[in-house]
Structure 1
Amino acid sequence: LSNNTLIDLLATSRSTPGELIMCQEKLVQEAVDTLLDNGIRGQPMRDGHNKVYKSFSNVIEGKEGRFRETLLGKRVDYSGRSVIVVGPSLSLHQCGLPREIAIELFQTFVIRNLIRQNCASNIGIAKSKIREKELIVWEILQEVAQGHPILLNRAPTLHRLGIQAFQPILVEGRAICLHPLVCKGFNADFDGDQMAVHLPLSLEAQAEARLLMFSHMNLLSPAIWDPISVPTQDMLIGLYVLTIGNRRGICANKYNPSNCKNYPNQRVYNNNYKYTKEPYFYNSY
């Protein structure tokens, strides 16, 4: 509209004041700036419903922009994503996989087994049984998932241990359960981190996951060969509490009052803190 008004004014420029043409040119320039980058002149322009206009730069930039959302972000089949929570009852090579995610990942395998076991005559009937969540579906899903490894990945994947293989254990809920000792390799914690699940399909991929990528086979850092599965935080506190009364442990607890004895190389300072020149050890045998 501003552009058409400016064209009409320029067509009758002999009888139009110059100040009016300059004001109209300024309005056209502001409209172009708003189209390219709304807010470059300060407050962004809004419509009649007080909603900010979306410019070309807003469509391109940001996490939900065209580049990062559509061009760089690729969606793949046989994958899922969920929040991770701690699974203290799991083994090091196991992870808790929610049933809702598992039935989507292994749906083709479940359909094939339903047809093989004559529980369904075609794919449509098998899918209807899955939608109705019949008991036979969960039994077949348990059998299929038990011998099929899955891959867990946490972005950003900065080194080799950023993606590891696990044996899935079906759990209730919607969160992925993870053993706390494998968190260091992923650089993950349980404050809302999300992890992606991928399903290896070919026999070669499954063999590689079993032989090279299982978490219990990657206990050392590939960079400096230090242990990557080290107990920290509440695990250390739990070990301390469990062994606080064990006087035959690997190392006697000198902070336990029951272990305070008169040792020959022991000195007592004025602040009543007992000092031992050399740590004393007990053999567990």
Structure 2
Amino acid sequence: MELAKHFIRTNIEPEWMVLCLLPVLPPELRSIIQIDDDKLMSSDINELYRRVIYRNNTLIDLLTTSRSTPEELVMCQEKLVQEVVDTLLDNGIRGQPMRDGNNKVYKSFFDIIEGKEGRFRETLLEKRIDYLRRSVIVIGLSLSLHRYGLLREIAIELFRTFLIRNLIQSLL
């Protein structure tokens, strides 16, 4: 009941908490490497995706092949699908994390994207910038309240590539 009150107070819609589509990382973030001629090494996330596909296909088979499948069996399989999706997204959220044959904990979707070595920080937040300029902010009496001025030299430096491209296109 407390959760329902919290949703009402914060204008959170409960359906926002339901995933209709499962995020799939691109292949370069869940690679498979060939070690020897006959051995492959795969990312943990691939194994977790494989388990989701297997459980979901089992559920689909139960729902489509037999009309007399007991509802308890379908509900049990739905629960197994939910558990493996939870593990894919955040391994260990349901208590004991899933482990491989060597007792190593699988890295989940959130493990890959969060933290200091996560993909968001690595690829988005730590991008090198090609320009940096310091300046002093002063009042521009000719500017309205929601506008800002930029020194001509700074503007030319910031937009140099655009200016060069436009000059080349105008000459062609």
More helix by share: 2
- Normalised to the residue count of structure 1, the TM-score between the two structures is 0.25
TM-score (norm 2): 0.40
Question: Per residue, is there more strand in 1 or in 2?
Answer: 1
Higher relative contact order (CA closer than 8 Å, sequence separation 6+): 1
Structure showing greater radius of gyration is: 1
